[in-house]
Structure 1
Amino acid sequence: MRWQRLFAELEAEFDAVEAAAERAEAGSRRRAELGAVRLAERLAGSVGRPVSLRCRGAGEVAGTLTDVGPDWLLLSDDVHREVLVATGAVLSVAGLGRMTAVPAPDGSVRGRLDLRRALRGLARDRSVVQVLLDDGSASVGTVDSVGADFVELAEHAADQPRRAGAVSGVRTLALPALVLVRTLAPGLD
């Protein structure tokens, strides 16, 4: 009888030590997994939710998060304008849900849709946009071209389409200084 009780006590003690080690390992594993999550993945888990961003040079930018790329995110603001935000300009985010998206596999098409490609889409569409830079300055016009580290914007009035007579000049903007690009509807903004 005494031996059975001794073995039972030893087994219970071993189980307790093993459970404590497993709990410690699980916590450590969770911290390591969280340490590998990038901001884009954290944001992608909240697509469809209203968020508020604090951005360098632009202050608070709010809207519904509609899409996330490797170095950009897309919001729809309260008047249904699209706002393309450079992730590098984001200082803080409020309104994220508890979900985090699974990272895209290396080499996936989605992972290659960077800010430059998004801006090239705006150039193709010939959309009238407002561009905000990290110094707080703003320019209005149409994206003409996108280089490796710059954007060329044909400046013209927001209520004018891009026509040679309406263009007051072409401004070359350094891509690292770009905070956000907001689409404007001619005659409405």
Structure 2
Amino acid sequence: MRWDRLFDDLAAQLALDEARELDAEVADRTRRERALLDVHTRMLANTDAGHVGLRLPGRVVTGRLADVGPDWALVETAPGRPCLVALAAVRGITGLGPGARTPSVVAKRFGLGAALRAVSRDRAVVELADVDGRVVTGTIDVVGADHLELAEHAPDEMRRTANLTGRLLVPFWSLGSVRRIH
């Protein structure tokens, strides 16, 4: 009978060791998988999932995460009021749920320049905020490889030569957000 208890005890210890080893392996694999996730894939998994807050220097852009590109996010701050945010300017994000989604090959190529060209094509009056929080209004005239050129004018005026107050070249690395005014 003592031998039976000894063997039962050894079997229980072996089963406990195996369970601990399995738990450690699962935890290790989970850590490795999470280490492969980036902000872009986390944000993609949360498009249309609820409200997020993108913290930029001096302000927070809140709303529904409508779309995400490799270096930008589109947040609908109110119905029909999208705000294009450069991910390089984001200092923190609230409201993201768990999970990740891999972008398509096409989505990986649709960068900030392409998104800004779409805004420029519409000739929309925009509010542009840089990474320092400075806000200017105008119309995007040119979108280059790594910059945009804004024709500055009052938000309630159309882009006309007589209405221009200046021209501003903004490198992408200093862009915070672009929001259509009308």
Quote the Cα distance in structure 2 between the aligned partners of 1:79 and 1:26.
43
One-letter amino acid of the structure 2 residue matched with residue 112 of structure 1: R
Q: Which moved more, 1:85-94 or 1:11-20?
A: 11-20
C-alpha deviations, 1:84-129, integer Å up to 9, x for none?
111111111222223x222226xx0111111111111111111111
Match of 2:83 in 1: 83
1:2 is displaced (CA, Å) by 7.7
Structure 1 Cα separation of the partners of residues 91 and 132 of structure 2: 14
* Structure 1 gaps, min length 5: none
Alignment of 1:40-79 (within 5 A): 40-48=40-48, 49-56=50-57, 58-78=58-78
Identity of aligned residues (%): 40
Mapping 1:150-169, distance limit 5 Å: 150-169=147-166
Equivalent in the alignment of 2:180: 183
Equivalent residues, number: 181
Q: How far apart, in 1, do the equivalents of 2:11 and 2:113 lie?
A: 61
Distance 1:178 1:118 in 2: 13
Q: Could you tell me how far 1:72 is from its partner in structure 2?
A: 0.9
Deviation, 1:168, is 2.9
Amino acid at match of 1:53: L
5+ residue gaps, structure 2, are none
Distance 2:70 2:10 in 1: 53
Q: Could you say what secondary structure the match of 1:26 adopts?
A: helix
The residue matched to 1:85 in structure 2 has which SS? strand
Q: 1:10 Cα shift?
A: 4.3
The one-letter code matched in structure 2 to 1:31 is R
Which secondary structure does the structure 1 equivalent of 2:70 belong to? coil
For residues 153-187 of structure 1, the C-alpha deviation after alignment (integer angstroms, 9 at most, x for no partner) is: 111222222233333332111210100001111xx
With normalisation by structure 1, the TM-score equals 0.85
* Structure 2 residue identity aligned to 1:102: R
Q: In the aligned structure 1, how far is the partner of 2:157 from the partner of 2:64?
A: 28
SS of aligned partner of 2:46: coil
The alignment's TM-score, normalised by the length of structure 2, stands at 0.88
The question of 1:112 aligning with 2:113 is answered: no
1:30 match: 30
Give the deviation of 1:67 after TM superposition.
0.8
